[in-house]
Amino acid sequence: MRANAKFAEHCVYEEPLFVYPCFLYANRVMLITDALYIYHIHPESTVTSAIGPRLLDHPRVQLELLEYCMKRQDIFLQYHDVIELYFLWSYYVETLCFASEADGAVLSLEYYHGMQEVCRTLCAAWRENPLIKRVSTGFFEAFESIDSTINTQKELDLLIEHISKSI
């Protein structure tokens, strides 16, 4: 398949690395309402694991997806603004929201600083993205926190709480 889509292995939230490449290369997408599958869930499945302790799987998969897109200049250039906005939302903002909502989720200050650096490096000109003008005030405020100075875990916890309540 042209998209070379795959599921991320050994993590929860593995679907984006498969689904989005398929969408990007699809000529047409059809939705059907029939359930053509049967779930078989076992206790050790990632589906049944609590997301809290696996919180960092989420940004990892999102970063893999961005790297996938960046390697494919044909789609990256064509969909740059959408890919960038999706990445900032899913990698950064969703991770902060999940850290607030999921039992057992801990986002360390060190990991957060790494996330900020990734966003600053890979999406340096995000404010110039024309789609940014369409996001709500809460989303824009969350994006702006990429450049905030957070020195303590307590400050980070307060930021996480504020962002999760404002969007």
DSSP per position, 118-136: HHHHHTTTGGG-GGGGGS-
**Across 24-28, 55-59, 155-159, which has the greatest mean pLDDT?**
155-159
Arithmetic mean of pLDDT over the chain: 88
What are the C-alpha distances in Å from 22 to residues 17, 35, 61, 102, 115?
A: 9, 20, 16, 29, 26
Which range has the worst mean pLDDT, 36-50, 103-117, 133-147?
A: 36-50
Residue 95 has pLDDT above 60, yes or no: yes
Query: Residue 106 has what pLDDT?
Result: 85
The neighbour count for residue 105, using CB atoms within 10 Å, is 19
Q: In 10 A of CB 88, how many CB atoms?
A: 24
Q: How far apart are CA 112 and CA 134, in angstroms?
A: 26
- Tokens of residue 14, six digits: 């593995």
Task: Choose between 91 and 8: higher pLDDT.
Answer: 91
Q: Which of 45-59, 72-86, 95-109, 152-166 has the lowest mean pLDDT?
A: 45-59
Q: Could you report the per-residue pLDDT of 39-92, keeping only the tens digit for each? A: 666 666 655 556 677 889 999 999 999 999 999 998 899 999 999 999 999 999
Domain ranges of the chain: 16-166
